[in-house]
Copies of this chain bind each other. A is one copy, B any other.
């Protein structure tokens, strides 16, 4: 009961702060961001001490290496956070942008204004850098935010939130624009998901289990990322060198990222020549291959037979499934059916095939002769990203400042009434 009240009151205060934020100027927001950067530098030792306390507790609890790695802060990671704040401050303010104004037969002029979404609820694991990233992106886009990070990072998160709050106070921005939820009882998440009157959007960030749970339970609209089952399709006309470069990079430059290729599709006319070459290169990096019948026929003992399940598995590991396809139609059908609508790339030199692939593949990012690994807010020039969406409404792919805004209609009249 106390928890429900605490979270509800915090969300209500965030909504009120949001309405004040509509009157805060770009200069004021940027001033707050610069102060946050300065404070991060000045308070670095306090943040690291808080993080060390979290790390110690996490080690005592015997938490796994991956969690410890995400939880850990260093001088270097704080420097990167400071650089991130400077980058966001330098981005143009998306709020207030107006376009598409047209004068209609009635005499009214109608157009659109870009506006914040309102209150954003972030639910994420024990990654203190997300606390900072989410806060600064939400603030820059004119949104209030509620930050519910994992309990293991609570001391680090409190230290970062203190830095942010003091910058808000100093620049006259309501403190309730950025709210760290300090009660990390699990039941608190359910409370957040049930406050559509105060919270406009929920953004979960973390493993598939967390995102799935949030999605199933939320009464607030969710912007989310589930799977990254990405494909590269090597077309009949693809340059061999380009195809190999992209196929190797898309799989092996990092294994745990959502934009990593999980299935390679290759045109039958390229398979005999390229698969042995690729197999050799993947073997050097210890990538396990699982192939369709035709792949097994070509690569013999160097490949395991793929099962139906492989086509819809996000390995997040040095494992790759390979399928030989008869034509581009089969490749597109495979991607739309088995993929996760995240990022898919074609390697080709055939213009009509390029056009068909770009149009018919139903994914957030569709690429031509480029590695799927480019699907990322920084690589797309967004300056920063709060996540990658595999949803179809509102925003697809990397979510930057624009994804944290919406557009409202503006009607400029001169006394017009409707007949």
Contact = CB atoms under 8 A, between A and B. Distances in A.
A409 B245 contact: no
A104 B366 contact: no
A379 B102 CA distance: 11
Contact of A417 (B110, B115, B249, B360): B249
Given A336-B19, A367-B411, A417-B253, A118 B362 contact: yes
Contacts of A256: none
A200 interface: yes
Contacts of A418: 249, 253, 371, 373-374, 379
A356 B417 CA distance: 22
B333 A19 contact: yes
Contacts of A102: 381
A326 interface: no
A345 B416 CA distance: 12
B417 A371 contact: yes
A208 to B, nearest CB: 15
B408 A364 contact: yes
Given A19-B362, A381-B110, A417 B367 contact: no
A397 interface: yes
B106 A374 contact: yes
The size class of the interface chain A forms with chain B is 35 or more
Contacts of A396: 406-409
Interface string A339-365: 000000100000000001011101111
Given A371-B418, A417-B371, A104 B409 contact: no
B394 A393 contact: yes
A2 interface: no
Give the number of times this chain occurs in the complex, counting copies.
2
The interface residues of chain A, by DSSP majority, are classed as mixed
A133 interface: no
A301 interface: no
A186 interface: no
A324 interface: no
Interface in A371-387: 371, 373-375, 379-381
B201 A415 contact: no
Given A393-B393, A407-B396, A409-B375, A108 B370 contact: yes
A370 to B, nearest CB: 3
B368 A413 contact: yes
Given A368-B411, A374-B418, A418-B253, A393 B221 contact: yes
Contacts of A365: 408-411
Contacts of A370: 108, 411-417
Given A110-B381, A115-B362, A364-B408, 19 more contacts: A19-B360, A19-B362, A108-B374, A113-B359, A117-B392, A118-B392, A221-B391, A223-B393, A245-B417, A363-B408, A365-B411, A367-B411, A369-B413, A369-B414, A371-B417, A373-B418, A392-B406, A393-B406, A396-B406
20 contacts: A19-B336, A96-B359, A104-B381, A106-B374, A106-B379, A108-B374, A108-B379, A110-B380, A113-B359, A221-B221, A242-B415, A253-B417, A365-B408, A369-B414, A370-B416, A370-B417, A373-B418, A374-B411, A394-B394, A396-B409
Interface of A: 19, 22-23, 96, 102, 104, 106, 108, 110, 113, 115, 117-118, 200-201, 216, 219, 221, 223, 239, 241-242, 245-246, 248-250, 253, 333, 336, 345, 356, 358-360, 362-371, 373-375, 379-381, 391-394, 396-398, 406-418
Nearest 9 A/B pairs, CB to CB: A370-B413, A249-B417, A373-B418, A242-B415, A367-B411, A394-B394, A393-B394, A365-B409, A369-B413
